[in-house]
C-alpha cells in the first residue's frame, strides 16, 4: 500500500523503504540518486577534477561548465553535488558541499566548502554577511570585500551605461505548482517578495543588436541576474528563453544596421577567417545562455581555520604571511568565447 504526501502518521505505524533508497552511502550524497549507481565512473571523476581552479584545506573552487545541474534527484544524472562528493573528497571522509548555486544553463566560478565550519561560514557570507561576521576586524574586512562578477551578452543595450538595479523579486507557481517563475514584485505587495540589488555596467558598443554587460549581484536571489536583465533593464540575456522568449523572436527576425560609436559609420558582423561558429554562439539559430560567473573575491578562510575546524580570529600563526583575500577569474565557455571574438571583429 502506498502512502500519500498528506497522510497522517499514527503511533505504531511502519514505513518500508526500498533497498535502493536505503543505501548507506546516500547520506554522503545529499539524499539524491542521480543514476542506478552512486559511484561515478573514472571518466566523470577525471573530468570534474580538471575543472578545479583552486584547492586548499577549507575550500575548492571550480569553473562549472554550462548545462550541468547543481542538485541531483531521481531523474537527474551527473549533478554537480553528487559528482563532487565522489570525485573531490581528496581523502576526506565527506566530499565538499556547495556554498552557493549557479543556474543549470550558466557557467563559471563555483565555491565549495571542504569542512562543516568552512561550509557554514561561507554559506552565511553568501546569504547574509551579518551572520558571517565575528569579533575579528581582519575577517570582517575580508567579508566586506567579497565580490561576484558575471559577464553576460544581452539583447539590446540599457539606457544608462552603468547603475544599480533595485527591484524586489517574487515567485509565482505555474502549471498547478509543477513549475515556477521569478518576476519583479508588484508594488502593491500582494505576493511575498525579497529585496534584490544588482550593480551593472556596459562593457562596449552594441553589435549585432547585442551588448556585453558586467553584473555584480549585491544580494543572492534565485534567477536575480536573469530577471533584472530581462524585466528591469529590458535587455534579456542571449539564450535565456525562460525570461526573454519573445524578445529573442524579434531579435532573430529584425534587420539591423549597427554604427561604430566613435566614427558613426556603419559596420557589419563578420566571421574571422578560420573560426568555426560553434553551436550555441551568438550566430547560432538557438544560442546557449550567455551568462558566466567570471570573477570572485572571497576571504581566505583557510587562514582562519585549522585542520580540526577550530576558528582563529586573527588567523593562524603559520599563515600570517598569507593574503586575507583570494581572487579567481574563470575563462568563458567555448560558445561565449566565440561570441566575444565574433563581436570584437567588425568591418567599419
The β-bridge relationship of strands 107-113 and 291-299 is parallel
Q: What are the residues whose beta carbons fall under 8 Å from the beta carbon of 294, sequence distance 6 or more?
A: 108, 109, 149, 150, 151, 329, 330, 332
Answer yes or no: are the C-beta atoms of 146 and 129 closer than 8 Å: yes
> How many of the other CB atoms lie within 10 Å of CB of 161?
12
Q: Could you give the CA distance from residue 147 to residue 138 in angstroms, rounded to a whole number?
A: 17
Q: Could you give the CA distance from residue 235 to residue 290 in angstroms, rounded to a whole number?
A: 13
Annotated active-site residue in 31, 43, 103, 258 = 103
Phi, psi angles (nearest 5°) of residue 126: -80, -20
Is the torsion defined by CA of 104, 106, 112, 117 positive or negative?
Answer: negative
Q: Could you give the CA distance from residue 280 to residue 166 in angstroms, rounded to a whole number?
A: 31
DSSP state at residue 299? E
Burial class (CB in 10 A: 0-12, 13-18, 19+), 289: buried
**What are the strands, taking DSSP E only, across 140-247?**
147-155, 162-166, 169-174, 179-184, 197-202, 210-217
> How many of the other CB atoms lie within 10 Å of CB of 9?
9
For this structure, is 141 an active site residue? no
> How many of the other CB atoms lie within 10 Å of CB of 55?
16
Is the torsion defined by CA of 307, 308, 311, 312 positive or negative?
Answer: negative
Q: Estimate the crossing angle of helix 80-87 against helix 42-50, to 10 degrees.
A: 100
Phi, psi angles (nearest 5°) of residue 343: -80, -15
Active site residues: 103
Amino acid at each position: 500500500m502506498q502512502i500519500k504526501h498528506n497522510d497522517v502518521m499514527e503511533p505504531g505505524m511502519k514505513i518500508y523503504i526500498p533497498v535502493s533508497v536505503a543505501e548507506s552511502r546516500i547520506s554522503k550524497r545529499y539524499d539524491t540518486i542521480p543514476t542506478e549507481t552512486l559511484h561515478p565512473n573514472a571518466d566523470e571523476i577525471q573530468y570534474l577534477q580538471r575543472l578545479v581552479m583552486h584547492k586548499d584545506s577549507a575550500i575548492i573552487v571550480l569553473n562549472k561548465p554550462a548545462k550541468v545541474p547543481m542538485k541531483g534527484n531521481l531523474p537527474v544524472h551527473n549533478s554537480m553535488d553528487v559528482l563532487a562528493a565522489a570525485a573531490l573528497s581528496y581523502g576526506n571522509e565527506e566530499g565538499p558541499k556547495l556554498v552557493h548555486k549557479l543556474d543549470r544553463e550558466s557557467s563559471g566560478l563555483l565555491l565549495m566548502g571542504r569542512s562543516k565550519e568552512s561550509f557554514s561560514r561561507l554559506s552565511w557570507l553568501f546569504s547574509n554577511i551579518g551572520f558571517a561576521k565575528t569579533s575579528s576586524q581582519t575577517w570582517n574586512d575580508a567579508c566586506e570585500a567579497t565580490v561576484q562578477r558575471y559577464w553576460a551578452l544581452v539583447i539590446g543595450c540599457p539606457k544608462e551605461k552603468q547603475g544599480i538595479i533595485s527591484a524586489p523579486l517574487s515567485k509565482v507557481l505555474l502549471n498547478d505548482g509543477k513549475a515556477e517563475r521569478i518576476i519583479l514584485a508588484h508594488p502593491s505587495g500582494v505576493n511575498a517578495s525579497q529585496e534584490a540589488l544588482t550593480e551593472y555596467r556596459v562593457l562596449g558598443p552594441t553589435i549585432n543588436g547585442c551588448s556585453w554587460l558586467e553584473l555584480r549581484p549585491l544580494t543572492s536571489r534565485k534567477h536575480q541576474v536573469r530577471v533584472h536583465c530581462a524585466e528591469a533593464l529590458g535587455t534579456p540575456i542571449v539564450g535565456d528563453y525562460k525570461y526573454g522568449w519573445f524578445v529573442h523572436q524579434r531579435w532573430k527576425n529584425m534587420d539591423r544596421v549597427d554604427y561604430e560609436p566613435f566614427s558613426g559609420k556603419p559596420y557589419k558582423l563578420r566571421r574571422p577567417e578560420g573560426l568555426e561558429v560553434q553551436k550555441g554562439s551568438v550566430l547560432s539559430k538557438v544560442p546557449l545562455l550567455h551568462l558566466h560567473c567570471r570573477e570572485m573575491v572571497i576571504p581566505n578562510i583557510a587562514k582562519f581555520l585549522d585542520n580540526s575546524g577550530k576558528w582563529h580570529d586573527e588567523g593562524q600563526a603559520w599563515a600570517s604571511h598569507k593574503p586575507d583575500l583570494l581572487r579567481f577569474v574563470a575563462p568563458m565557455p567555448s560558445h561565449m568565447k566565440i561570441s566575444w571574438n565574433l563581436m570584437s571583429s567588425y568591418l567599419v
